Amino acid sequence: MNDSSDVNTKTALLAAAIAVFAEKGFDSATVRDICGRAKANVAAVNYHYGSKDGLYAAVLEEIFPTGKEWQAQESPSLSPEDRLREFIRGLVSDIYERGSDTIAQHWAIFLREMAKPSQNLDIIVQHQVQPRANELRSILADILGPDTPKTTLAYCSSNIWAMMLDHLLIQPILDRLTPHRPAVDGILDDFVDHVTKFSLGGLRAVKG
């Protein structure tokens, strides 16, 4: 194969793998499935990625980038409360505004990892979850004060994460509840406002 053919095949394998892993999960996806979708020889995965594990790691690196954009950003013009609102808005938009197939596949793979973690879960944690957790903890420390116990910060952070992820994790159940709870993607602004107000109310109660 020439260099151009190699690059094209490698790119096609990665795109096909993202789709197949999102649909089937790591365990159920097969190299044959991926190569068939990519229109590549079954030996191509080993040639370009070393193994199915190597290809999956490349997929996670592709759809869960470094997360530098989630490192805490100093903004003297924003209060800690406004920083919390912006943090919530950013994460809610990322989760529920599905602008492309890749974003939907990103969260499908995330959910599959939550249900059955693979050995590559560390990539998601290091690239996506940890930077966001660090930023949220920094915001909460500014709201609650520097002497707030670590356990309190951890509980408050978990409570806020739970509200934002609730619809993502259990939407099929919510669709069947009465009265019906609307999907977040149709009420993003209302959802952000509610989560922010509820969070600030809880933080005021914790702070005393």
Confidence of residue 206 (pLDDT cuts 50, 70, 90): very high
Residue 145: which region, alpha, beta or left (left: phi > 0; alpha: psi -120 to 50)?
A: left
Residue 106 has pLDDT above 60, yes or no: yes
Kindly list the domain boundaries of the chain, sorted by start residue.
Answer: 3-63, 68-207
Domain covering 68-207 assigned CATH 1.10.357.10 in the classification:
yes
Cα angle, residue 153 at apex, residues 157 and 89 outer, rounded to 5°: 30
Tens of pLDDT, residue by residue over 36-47, are: 999 999 999 999
* DSSP SS3 for 98: coil
How far from chain centre, in Å, is Cα 95?
7
Question: Structure tokens of 29?
Answer: 């996806």
Residue 72 has pLDDT above 80, yes or no: no
Distance, CA of 129 to CA of 133 (rounded, Å): 6
- 155 vs 181, higher pLDDT: 155
3-63 and 68-207 share one fold: no
Domain covering 3-63 assigned CATH 1.10.10.60 in the classification:
yes
CB atoms within 10 A of CB 162: 10
Cβ–Cβ < 8 Å for 157, 133: yes
